Structure 1
Amino acid sequence: MFSSRRKAVTVAAAACLVLLAPIQASVSAEPTGATAAQDLATYTVPNTDSKTRTEINRTGAQVIAVSGAVATVEATPAQAEQLRAAGFALNDETKVADALKRINPAQAQQVPGDFPPGYEGYHNLDEMNAELDTVVKDHPDIASKSSIGKSFEGRDIPVLKISDNVGQDEDEPEVLFNCNQHAREHLTTEMCLRIANRFTDDYATDQAVKDAVDNREIWIIPVVNPDGSSYDVESGQFQGWRKNRQDSGTDLNRNWGYKWGCCGGSDDDPNGETYRGTAEWSAPETAAMRDFIDSRVVGGAQQIKAAIDFHTYSELVLWPFGHTSDDVTEDMTQEEYDRFARVGGEMAQANGYTPQQSSDLYVTDGDSLDWMWGQHKILAYTFEMYPANGGGIDGFYPPDDVIEKETARNDSAVDILIREAGA
Structure 2
Amino acid sequence: MRTPRAPQEPRTTRRTRRTRRYGAAGAAVLSLALALTLGAQATAVPGPAATPDPARSADPARQQIRQYEVAGLRTAQDRTALAGTGTAIDEVLHSSVLITADAGEAERLRKLGYELTPLADTAEGADFQAAAPSDYHTYASMTAAVNDTVARYPGLVSSRVIGRSHEGRDIVAVKVSANVAVDEDEPEILFTHNQHAREHLTVEMALYTLDELTSQYGRDARVTELLDTREIWLIPSVNPDGKHYDTESGAFRSWRKNRQPNSGSSSIGTDLNRNWDHMWGCCGGSSGSTSSATYRGASPESGPETRVVADFVRSRVVGGEQQITAHIDFHTYGELILWPYGYTYADTAAGLTADDRDAFVAVGREMAASNGYTAQQSSDLYITDGSINDWLWADQGIFSYTFEMYPRGASGGGFYPPGSVIDRETARNREAVLILLENADCMYRSIGKESQYCS
* TM class by smaller structure: 0.7 to 0.9
**Alpha-carbon distance change, 69 to 175 in structure 1, aligned in 2, over 3 angstroms:** farther
What are the ranges of 5 or more consecutive residues in structure 1 without an aligned counterpart?
1-28, 105-114
Instruction: Calculate the TM-score normalised by the size of structure 1.
Output: 0.86
For 1:49, the aligned partner's letter is: T
Higher relative contact order (CA 8 A, sep 6+): 2
Q: Is the 8 A contact 2:348 2:357 kept in 1?
A: yes
CA deviation string 1:289-315 (max 9, x = no partner): 100000000001100000000001111
- For 1:45-124, list aligned pairs within 5 A: 45-46=70-71, 47-93=73-119, 98=124, 101-103=127-129, 116=132, 120-124=134-138
**Conserved in 2, the CA contact under 8 Å of 1:172 and 1:216?**
yes
Letter in 1 for 2:417: P
Between the aligned partners of 1:170 and 1:69, the Cα distance in structure 2 is: 50
Confirm whether residue 44 of structure 1 aligns to residue 69 of structure 2: yes
- Give the Cα–Cα distance (whole angstroms) in 2 for the partners of residues 364 and 34 of structure 1: 27
Q: Which residue of 2 aligns with 1:336?
A: 356
Instruction: Name the counterpart of 1:355.
Output: 375
Deviates more, 1:55-64 or 1:225-234: 55-64
Cα distance 1:94–1:322, how it changes in 2: closer, same or farther (>3 A)?
farther
Distance 1:100 1:60, change over 3 A: farther
User: How far apart, in 2, do the equivalents of 1:174 and 1:167 lie?
Assistant: 14
Alignment of 1:18-417 (within 5 A): 32-33=55-56, 38-46=63-71, 47-93=73-119, 98=124, 101-103=127-129, 116=132, 120-247=134-261, 248-391=268-411, 394-417=413-436
Per-residue deviation at 1:52?
1.2
Contact 1:38–1:96 under 8 Å retained in 2: no
Secondary structure of 1:257's aligned partner: coil
**TM-superposition CA deviations, 1:26-51 (whole Å, max 9, x none):** xxx95645899934321123443211
Distance in 1, Cα, partners of 2:98 & 2:255? 17
Amino acid aligned to 2:83: N
Question: Is this contact kept in 2: 1:100–1:240, CA < 8 A?
Answer: no
Question: CA 1:69–1:165 in 2, change beyond 3 Å: closer, same or farther?
Answer: farther
Counterpart Cα distance in 1 of 2:304 and 2:213: 29
RMSD of aligned alpha carbons = 2.1
Partner of 1:144, secondary structure, is strand
> How far off its partner does 1:97 sit?
5.7
TM-score between the two structures when normalised by the length of structure 2: 0.80
- How far apart in 1 are the matches of 2:96 and 2:280? 28
Matched, 1:419 2:445: no
Structure 1 residues 138 and 353: alpha-carbon distance in aligned structure 2, compared to 1, 3 A threshold = same
Identity %: 48
Partner amino acid, structure 2, of 1:73? I
Cα distance in 2, alignment partners of residues 281 and 156 from structure 1: 18
Output the amino acid matched with 2:301: W
1:8 aligned residue? none
Tell me how far apart the structure 1 counterparts of residues 57 and 168 of structure 2 sit (CA, whole Å). Answer: 20
In structure 2, C-alpha distance between the alignment counterparts of 1:256 and 1:31, rounded to whole Å: 27
Q: CA deviation at 1:58?
A: 1.2
**Structure 2 residue identity aligned to 1:190:** E
Read off the aligned partner of 1:44 and give its amino acid letter: E
How far apart in 2 are the matches of 1:182 and 1:236?
19
What SS does structure 1 have at the residue aligned with 2:119? strand
Change (3 A) 1:321 1:139: same
Cα distance between partner residues in 2 of 1:291 and 1:365: 20
How many residues align? The count is: 382
Q: Deviations over 1:222-256 (max 9, x none)?
A: 11000000000001110010000001110000111
Q: CA deviation at 1:80?
A: 2.2
Moved more, 42-51 or 129-138: 42-51
- For 1:221 and 1:145, locate their aligned partners in 2 and report how far apart those are by CA, in whole Å: 10
Once residues 34 and 422 of structure 1 are traced to their aligned partners in structure 2, the CA distance between those partners, rounded to angstroms, is: 51
Amino acid at match of 1:412: E
Q: Secondary structure, in 3 states, of the residue corresponding to 2:105?
A: helix
The 3-state SS of whatever aligns with 2:393 is helix
CA distance in 1, matches of 2:224, 2:95: 42
Give the C-alpha shift of residue 78 in structure 1.
3.5
> Structure 1 residues 268 and 201, CA, compared in 2 at 3 Å: closer, same or farther?
same
Q: Is the contact made by 1:43 and 1:92 (CA closer than 8 Å) also made in structure 2?
A: yes
Return the letter of the residue paired with 2:309. M
Give the C-alpha shift of residue 94 in structure 1: 5.7
